[in-house]
Amino acid sequence: MNVYDFTVKAMDGTDVDLSQYKGKVTLVVNTATECGFTPQYKNLQEIYDEFKDQDFDILDFPCNQFANQAPDSNEEIHTFCTGRFGITFPQFGKIDVNGENADPLWKYITENTMFQGFDGPAKLMLTPIVKKMDKDYKNNGNIKWNFTKFLVDKEGNIVARFEPTKDMKDVRDAVAALL
């Protein structure tokens, strides 16, 4: 089993078979429009623009599980992202990434990766919040916050996990190396 074996919901609620991304490197991201990391949309779009012609895609999954930072409808989220950040990569329907209602794709992702630790100054802010939500947060693959990213190879295997505090240059460099 791999990432490309799953079906997810499009923004309009229709099914999208991720097997259509086989043969591409993808970056799978859980996002939110009212988060301190929301400006990463700009970086994601820059990475997409740089590599989209090299069999690369970004798959954006809005999620409202972290401090209710994606409260809007799918359409409102899409309008915000395209209007403010010029997003042109695929955006899917809002989902849960953790817990009993987690989307099956995200259950698979969290069961097959481990938390990588927070970097930089945001570590001081995020660690106590995450620790309250999950006392064992260091020892599991649950998503800790918005803008956690997963680099997936052309066969659908998860090859890297980037926490939201990871420098976006490192994310870009990992994409370039895999391509």
> 73 to each of 79, 114, 154, how far by Cα in Å?
10, 30, 31
Of 3, 8, 18, 35, which is the active-site residue?
35
Alpha-carbon span 74 to 71, nearest angstrom: 9
Nearest to 177, CA basis, from 156, 157, 159: 159
Alpha-carbon span 112 to 103, nearest angstrom: 14
Alpha-carbon span 56 to 28, nearest angstrom: 11
Alpha-carbon span 169 to 64, nearest angstrom: 26
Q: Is 81 a catalytic residue?
A: no
Active-site residues, by number, are: 35
